[in-house]
Amino acid sequence: MMPDEMIPDASAENEALTETPAESFGEVLAEFEHTHTHKAEGDARQLEGTVVSMDAEAVYLDIGYKTEGILLRSAFPRDAEGVVPGNTFAVSVTGRNPERYYELSLLRVAQATDWASLQEAFEQKAAVVGTVTAVVKGGLSVDVGARAFMPASRSGVREAAEMEKLVGQEITCRIIKLDTVEEDVVVDRRVIAEEEVKALQGTRFAEIRVGEVVSGQVRSMTPYGAFVDLGGIDGLLHVGDIAWSRLKTPEDVLSVGQQVEVKILSVDAEAKRISLGMKQLQPEPWDAVAEKYLPGQRITGTVVRLMDFGAFVELEPGVEGLIHVSEMSWVKKVRKPSDMLKEGETVEAVILSVNPAERRISLGLKQALGDPWSEVPKKFPVGSAMEGPVTRLMKFGAFVQLAEGVEGLVHVSEITADRHVHHPQDVLRVGEMVKAQVIGMDAQKRQIKLSMKQLVPTSLGEYMEEHKTGDVVSGRVVEHAPETAVIELGEGIRALCPIATGTAAAAESRSNAGVDLSSLTSMLSERWKGGATASPNKPEPLGLGQVRSFRIVKLDCETGTIELELA
């Protein structure tokens, strides 16, 4: 029986054979007869040949013709060992080689032909036994009781050297063409091998059982797995079932011709498919994960894959953990894992969580480096001063680096007390070294509030210490808006005075409420007589540059703000 890989697709071959004109094999055989047979010289007779000489490959015999005959040493038992000049052998002429030597055979070529038996075998598609006598153009010459032609494609072998090895061998074949008139016989050896393989496969599929452990030989490999010969039938060993560790190709572990033990995972007799597994013969590594790996444990592994969301690290064959991008650095925001890691790199990480049921292990790379925030409350207590570079400027403030991985925020209102800052970039630049005071901290939220103006000497603090709520002070209007005015109380000291709710509005309200129809005429007369003099109950509206008296209604030392009203 021939191996599967030596048997091309039978249907394709049969189609090719059907499409070939019927007389083509006869023509090939006729050409062979014309170029290789010499009936006048008696090749159909059994001749006696005498050994006259020998070389490393052949034995030369005198057969009574003008030209000697030649026999390959392989035609003799033990490669012609013991054959010496003078020995005689019964031979038949099978043809002539390019050097014009007669090609001989130790087998009898011409036999009495039983055409009736051949006809019966042809009609019943029965197997017949024949002997390969020579390699001819396009195939082989086979003696099945009559000389027959076997196309190379139906010989069951592919290489010319393999066809040469068939010469002298007895084979089983089937007659696929028979013309008794033309004595044209064509035989097929491959179809017999194919039927034997199918019969064996049917038997093996009936015998094989899921869960069974069997031995086989790796026959071929593909990127997705290896085909294993189980003795007449092939099974697929998928690359994912070779080992618990992740493999890129089967060649990482297997080689063609290797003997392996595999477990039958599934059998589909109808589709002729068998799935095999090797790793299933080894303990499942995740069974012991809960005992071996605990949260907080430091581990060392190899980066095996980089994804957009993180990196997979192999802790042992078949067990991987994930380092999410958010767990890679305390210092910077990692956008892609390749910014920090590369495949094949050995890393140290800390186990964050373990979920054996879902086969998930979460790892942290930054945790293995130590959390810089763990010492922040001790290193930067509230009230302490620090110095560092500006790392980022936002609309609401500036971030300043206190230490590696630790930043604090200077709110826009805490940059300077001298003037109102609309945007931090009006005062600061990225990279600029600044001094600030820690005015607030939330270590759990990883937030630190800083103030630059607290470290700058200012008269505002002294002013707020010298005054209290209710004091009447003088000030100049420096800014005026529809609802609020900014009042300068001294150099660098500014306060807010609401206009809509100020004394002027209240006075106007009280004045209007006190006027009735009976006194309206007298009020208008007094205004005409006295000119445009304002009523003593209605204060003059605020205007830019005015110096007025104000009453302090609020002092907030923490925020450094003062609120006033017209006195």
Domain definitions of the chain by residue range:
4-192, 208-281, 290-362, 372-455, 459-566
For 10, phi then psi, to 5°, come to -65, -40
Assigned token pair, 418: 């001298």
Assigned token pair, 352: 């964050």
Assigned token pair, 6: 């030596």
Q: How many Å apart are CA 347 and CA 28, to the nearest integer?
A: 71
- Is this prediction's pTM over 0.75? no
C-alpha distances out from residue 216 to 230, 279, 370, 494, Å: 5, 15, 52, 93
Please give the single-letter amino acid code of residue 378: K
Contact 485, 546 (CB under 8 A): no
- The class that CATH gives domain 208-281 is mainly beta
Assigned token pair, 256: 């063609």
* pLDDT, position 276: 92
CATH of domain 4-192: 2.40.50.140
Closest Cα to residue 47, out of 109, 122, 127? 109
Assigned token pair, 125: 């598609």
4-192 and 459-566: identical CATH topology: yes
Q: How many Å apart are CA 327 and CA 325, to the nearest integer?
A: 5
Using only C-alpha atoms, what is the Rg of the chain? 52
Closest Cα to residue 171, out of 137, 212, 141? 141
Q: Right CATH number for 459-566 from 3.40.50.1000, 3.20.20.70, 2.60.120.10, 2.40.50.140?
A: 2.40.50.140
C-alpha distances out from residue 269 to 1, 31, 218, 266, 272, Å: 21, 47, 21, 10, 5
**DSSP-assigned letters across all residues of 5-63:** GGS--HHHHHHHHHHS-THHHHHHHHHHHHHH--GGGTTTS-EEEEEEEE-SSEEEEE-
Q: What is the 3-state secondary structure (H, E, C) of 163-230?
A: HHHHCCCEEEEEEEEEECCCCEEEEECHHHHHHHHHHHHHHHHHHCCCCCEEEEEEEEEECCEEEEEC
Q: Which residue has the tokens 């209604």?
A: 553
Q: Is 180 exposed, middle or buried (0-12, 13-18, 19+ CB in 10 A)?
A: middle
* pLDDT, position 229: 87
Contact 248, 316 (CB under 8 A): no
Fold exhibited by the domain 290-362:
OB fold (Dihydrolipoamide Acetyltransferase, E2P) (2.40.50)
For 203, phi then psi, to 5°, come to -65, -45
How far is C-alpha 482 from the geometric centre of its chain's CA atoms?
Answer: 64
C-alpha distances out from residue 515 to 151, 270, 540, Å: 130, 108, 19
Contact 422, 413 (CB under 8 A): no
Q: Which residue has the tokens 């019927």?
A: 22
Q: How many Å apart are CA 137 and CA 134, to the nearest integer?
A: 10
Q: How many Å apart are CA 523 and CA 536, to the nearest integer?
A: 13
* pLDDT, position 107: 56
* pLDDT, position 245: 81
* pLDDT, position 27: 55
CA quadruple 287, 291, 296, 302: dihedral positive or negative? negative
How far is C-alpha 468 from the geometric centre of its chain's CA atoms?
Answer: 71
For 265, phi then psi, to 5°, come to -90, -40
Fold exhibited by the domain 372-455:
OB fold (Dihydrolipoamide Acetyltransferase, E2P) (2.40.50)
pLDDT tens per residue across all 567 residues of the chain: 333 433 334 333 333 333 343 345 555 544 544 444 443 333 445 678 899 999 989 999 998 888 899 988 888 878 888 889 999 888 877 777 888 888 887 754 434 457 888 888 899 888 888 889 888 888 999 988 888 999 999 988 888 888 888 888 888 899 999 987 777 899 999 988 888 777 777 777 777 888 888 888 999 989 889 999 887 788 899 988 888 888 888 888 898 989 999 998 988 877 788 899 998 888 888 888 888 899 989 999 999 989 989 999 999 888 999 999 988 887 677 888 988 899 889 999 999 999 988 889 999 998 888 777 878 888 888 888 889 999 989 999 999 998 877 889 999 988 887 678 889 998 899 999 999 999 898 888 889 999 988 887 667 777 888 889 999 998 999 888 888 899 988 877 889 998 864 444 444 434 443 444 444 444 444 444 444 444 455 567 788 888 889 999 999 877 778 999 988
End-to-end CA distance of the chain: 118
Helix/strand/coil percentages in the chain, nearest 5: 25, 40, 35
Q: How many Å apart are CA 265 and CA 497, to the nearest integer?
A: 85
E strands, 55-126, are 58-62, 69-72, 88-96, 102-105
Calculated CA dihedral for residues 227, 230, 235, 236, nearest 10 degrees: -40
Closest Cα to residue 315, out of 349, 266, 268? 349
How far is C-alpha 134 from the geometric centre of its chain's CA atoms?
Answer: 55
